[in-house]
Amino acid sequence: MSGVRVLVGTHKGAFILSADGKRKDWKVDGPFFAGWEVYHMKGSPADPNRIYVSQTSGWFGQLIQRSDDGGKSWHQPGLADEALPQPGPPKALPNRFVYDASAATGKPLTTHQWYDGTQHPWEFKRVWHVEPSLTDPDTVYAGVEDAALFRSTDGGENWQELSGLRGHGTGPEWQPGAGGMCLHTILLDPSNPQRIYIAISAAGAFRTDDGGANWKPINKGLVSNFMPNPTAEVGHCVHHVAMHRSRPRVLFMQKHWDVMRSDDAGDNWREVSGNLPTDFGFVIDVHAHEPETLYVVPIKSDGEHFPPGGKLRVYRSRTGGNEWEPLARGLPEKDCYVNVLRDAMAVDSLDQCGVYFGTTGGQVYASADAGDSWAPIVQNLPKVLSVEVQTLD
């Protein structure tokens, strides 16, 4: 029987939630890497047993973990084939995420300039997002802070920066968002293996059409009133970007205010916030089988990161934006002051699409009917940083 595996990264470890195709009875495994910040974990579309994890510690730095058996055991790439059920005392590991010190043009690119004119060095801090290849379980991309894109072709053992991104010309103008200058979204085009979309807070969205050698900003139509030039080529605080595999040229964006849509691979954007109670939020996702059905979780404002009126609601549009309906059945009706972070929503690909999201209050909610009704899978986890789903045959 088919089933699902929900991968949850939290402020204090990782959890794996699993169920059969009915998605009623859930098994909770974890915490793995207890005490570590697990910014993101994601399974390989090419191998249901392969999972990549980004874990970070203020004491011990950044590690990448890999499982080849669906999370039963873990391997830290760079060490000699050791299974690590828990990281334990960290072992010496070369920092394989080394920024390329020069731009694609050969010019140094080691600093970026903030709006106040001050220069800041590029610094490797953490991996925000891991994105496995659609076809090869040993190829995986990593988006890091300070913003850069890396790729490994050997299961995470070695990483190479795709330095054309930082070197394409606007890199020194990128700014950190409130959470840091993070590359948090990586979208791989299933119809064109040379095309990759990424998003950076607070720089905007970018696209490559040649596998990462050359990049272009794709921010035309975005307006950010906090910037000196609200329609500048770069500098926009993009929170998340999503697409449907069947239409990789159609993109949906939740930015720092405004829900946006592009129908031409990001070359142009238009607002589709419509009748949302607020157009501020962090997460956006697309139904597995309906490319015009979208999900967002509105948050009151950029200063008050909780649902309007203390009522947790997912909003769904079946029209690709503009017309939105609240989905409330099974969600808290009052006194709810949690947030849903940018990587904390995902969908499965079962016949009746399941939708999942996690909150900063430690709840993970699931809907087995495309959002019509919700129930908590688990409660009282640490703050949820990311939610991803593997659909199992």
**DSSP codes of every residue in 286-323:** E-SS-TT-EEE---S-SS--S-GGG---EEEESSSSS-
Structure confidence at residue 84 (pLDDT): 32
78 occurs within a structural domain: yes
Interatomic CA distance for residues 135 and 33, integer angstroms: 28
241 occurs within a structural domain: no
**Structure tokens belonging to residue 83:** 């299974």
Using the structure block, give the residue that is written with the tokens 């997912």: 314
Which residues lie across from 121 on neighbouring strands?
A: 111
Residue 215 burial (10 A CB sphere; 0-12, 13-18, 19+): buried
Structure confidence at residue 59 (pLDDT): 81
Query: Which has more confidence, 42 or 111?
Result: 42
Around 129, how many Cα atoms within 13 Å sit in the side-chain half-sphere?
Answer: 27
Mean pLDDT computed over 363-392? 97
300 occurs within a structural domain: no
**Structure tokens belonging to residue 252:** 């949906």
Number of CB atoms found within 10 A of residue 6's CB: 25
Structure confidence at residue 92 (pLDDT): 35
235 occurs within a structural domain: no
Interatomic CA distance for residues 393 and 382, integer angstroms: 30
Structure confidence at residue 344 (pLDDT): 98
176 occurs within a structural domain: no
Number of domains in the chain: 1
Contact 347, 284 (CB under 8 A): no
278 occurs within a structural domain: no
Which structural domain range is residue 61 located in? 1-94+344-393
Which residues lie across from 305 on neighbouring strands?
A: none
Q: Are strands 27-32 and 13-20 parallel, antiparallel or unpaired?
A: antiparallel
At residue 335, φ and ψ (nearest 5 deg) are 55, 40
Interatomic CA distance for residues 22 and 391, integer angstroms: 12
Mean pLDDT computed over 303-321? 97
31 occurs within a structural domain: yes
* pTM score: 0.93
Contact 21, 2 (CB under 8 A): yes
202 occurs within a structural domain: no
What does pLDDT average to over the chain?
Answer: 90
Query: Which has more confidence, 277 or 228?
Result: 277
